Amino acid sequence: MDLAGATVLVTGASSGIGAAIARHASEAGAVVALAARRVDLLEQLAAEIGGSAHGVDLADPDQLDGFIARVEAVVGPIDVLVNNAGLEASGLMEEADEARIVELVAVNLVAPQRLVRQVLPGMLARGRGHLVAMSSLAGVAAVPGAAVYSSTKAGLSHFTACVARDLVGTSIGTTLVEPGPVVSEMWERFSADPTLAAALARGRKLQLFPPISVDAVAAATVRGVLEGRRHVRLPRRLTAQYALENAPRRLTDLVMVGLRPRR
C-alpha cells in the first residue's frame, strides 16, 4: 500500500516501537495520528513529524467508545490502523494480580478488536485500507512466567489471521508483526522477572534471541505495509518455528481456497 498522503493511526505511539513506526510512516509520506495515554509525549512527537495527538486509555472501555470516529473527525478517513499498544506482565500464574490480568487483556486483545471493528466499515466503503497488529514471539512460544502476556499475543495473532480470512476478496490488507525480544524499556521490565531468567538464558545460549532494535521492528513494519506483506517476523533464524506455528492456519487457507466470506 502506498503511504504517500495516507492517514495512519498508531496506538501506543508515545514511545518505543509505536513512536518509531510513526516516524517511519511519516518519512514514507503518511499523515500520522498518534494515540496513547501520555499526551505530553504524543504532542512532542506530533510537533516533530507534523502529526496529531489523541489521548486515550485503551484499558478504559468508555474511552474506546467511538474513538475512531473522534480521530477521523480531526484527521479524516484512516487508511492504516496500527494496533501497536501493549502492556507486559510476568511471574507465576498463582501470584498474578487479577486487576493486571484484566488490564492486559483489555489493552492487548480487546482494544485491537474494538478498533478494527470501528475502522473497518469505513475502509470497506472506501475500498482502501490496511490493518497492522503488533504481536510477539511470545504468542508463539510458551515460556514460564509469561502466561498472561503470551496468551493475549497468541489471541491477537489468531484474531488477525481470522480477520484476514474475513477480508478475502476485498482490497483491505493485513500485516501481523511477530518480533522476538526487542531492546526497550518494556523488555527490560519483562525480562527482569526471575521466573523468566532460566528460559531467556537458555535462548541466549542457543543464540535464538539476538537483540532487535526498536527501529528495526518499525522499519520492517512500515516496509511490510508498503509491500502488502501478511507477516513480518524477526529474527529470521526462528522462521521454522513461526512456520510450524502458522501451519494450521495455512492448511485452513488451502481448504478455504475459492471461498468468499463476503455477504
d(CA 184, CA 170) in angstroms, rounded, equals: 36
d(CA 22, CA 12) in angstroms, rounded, equals: 10
d(CA 177, CA 199) in angstroms, rounded, equals: 23
Residue 237, pLDDT score: 60
E strand or H helix at 212: strand 212-213
Instruction: Identify the active-site residue in 149, 159, 190, 209.
Output: 149
Q: Is the peptide bond before 248 cis (omega within 30 degrees of 0)?
A: no
The type of residue at 133 is A
Give the contacts of 88 (CB within 8 A, at least 6 positions apart).
Answer: 104, 149, 186, 189, 190
d(CA 59, CA 170) in angstroms, rounded, equals: 31
d(CA 34, CA 256) in angstroms, rounded, equals: 37
**Domains, the chain, ranges and CATH?**
7-255 (3.40.50.720)
Per DSSP bridges, beta strands 80-83 and 7-11 are parallel
Residue 144, pLDDT score: 80
d(CA 38, CA 43) in angstroms, rounded, equals: 9
Q: Respond yes or no: is residue 242 known to be catalytic.
A: no
Contact, 15 vs 33, CB < 8 A?
no
- Residue by residue, pLDDT tens for the chain (263 residues) are 999 999 999 999 999 999 999 999 999 999 999 999 999 999 999 999 999 999 999 999 999 999 999 999 999 999 999 999 999 888 888 999 999 999 999 999 999 999 999 999 999 999 999 999 999 988 887 778 889 999 999 999 999 999 999 999 999 999 999 998 777 666 666 666 666 666 666 656 655 666 789 999 999 999 999 999 999 988 766 666 666 666 777 677 777 666 666 66
Residue whose C-alpha is closest to residue 56's, from 44, 68, 73, 74: 68
Alpha helix segments (H runs only) across 28-110 = 39-49, 61-64, 67-75, 98-105
